[in-house]
Every structure is written in structure tokens, then in C-alpha cells.
Amino acid sequence: MTDPIADMFTRIRNSSKVHKAEVLMPMSKMKYKIAQILEKEGWISRAEIVAGGLNSRHNQFDQLKLVLKYQKNGNPYINGIKRVSKCGARVYVDKGNIPTVLNNFGIAIISTSSGLMTNREAYRKSIGGEVIGEVY
């Protein structure tokens, strides 16, 4: 797999389209931080680490489990999630060009020198960085 973050976003997008309750993916610190941001901002219900082990026959590595969130009418909270900065074309912004997503109805996830944060937090702290993706 070339881009694990794009794989994470694709798994979330596909699972929400078919109305799955939860989605499992290989665990990494970066994915877990992104999942924590999505949980804090209210886009998913819960993010947790499912421990794998040597006793587990099928899975010996840790996995990340995301519990997706749906509205009362059955529509998913996440209508779109996309990777902005790709492996071949990184997208960096300075503090004056922090993107807004759907007129601030969505969020952009930005990797800064102070860690991962949303576009609103980066704007408040006046920090730029690499735009990881957008959620709306």
C-alpha cells in the first residue's frame, strides 16, 4: 500500500456509503490521531484500538476500529472525505492561506509543527502546515 491515509479515507467513504456501523483498518499512530480528530469534531461516534496478538490466528497486529455516525434519517454524517496532499504532490499552506471547507461546514486536517489539528485550530494558533485531507 503506497498511501495508508488515502486507504483510511477510502475505507471510511465506502463503509458510510453502504451504511456499515463500523470499519476496521490497520493501526498506525497517524491514523489514530486523525480518528481522534474526527471523533472530537463529531464526524464519527468512536475510535478505538483493537489489540491483535500472537494468539489471534487471523490478525496478529493491532487494528483501528471506527464506529460511524448516522443521522436520524439514515444519512451518514460524513458526506465526503478526500485526501488533499498526496505522495506525489504535497500541499503545504502558510498561516495566511489556511483553507476553509464548505464555508466552515467541513474541516481540513492539517499536519503542523505542533501536531495534527483542524483548520480552525491552526488558524487560531496562526500555524501553517501540510493539508492532509478534507471532511464534509
What are 40-95's pLDDT values in tens digits? 999 999 999 998 766 656 668 899 999 999 999 999 999 999 999 999 999 999 99
At residue 52, the pLDDT reads 77
At residue 58, the pLDDT reads 65
Residues 64 and 117 in one domain: no
Give me the CATH number covering residue 34: 3.30.1370.30
At residue 121, the pLDDT reads 97
Spatial CA neighbour of 62 closest among 108, 107, 22, 31: 31
| Span of 34-43, 56-65, 113-122, 123-132 with lowest mean pLDDT | 56-65
Give me the CATH number covering residue 110: 3.30.1490.10
Distance separating alpha carbons of residues 103 and 108, to the nearest angstrom: 11
At residue 54, the pLDDT reads 60
Question: What single string gives the DSSP state of each residue in 18-79?
Answer: TT-SEEEEE--HHHHHHHHHHHHTTSEEEEEEE---TT-SS--S-EEEEEE-B-TTS-BS-S
Specify whether the CB–CB gap between 65 and 23 falls below 8 A.
yes
Phi, psi of 64 (to 5 degrees): -105, 125
At residue 55, the pLDDT reads 62
Residues 47 and 94 in one domain: no
At residue 60, the pLDDT reads 81
At residue 56, the pLDDT reads 57
What residue has cell string 491514523? 31
Q: Which residues constitute the domain of residue 38? A: 4-68
Residues 45 and 92 in one domain: no
Residues 97 and 129 in one domain: yes
In the structure, what pLDDT confidence band is assigned to residue 131 with cuts at 50, 70 and 90? very high
- Please state the pTM of the whole predicted model: 0.91
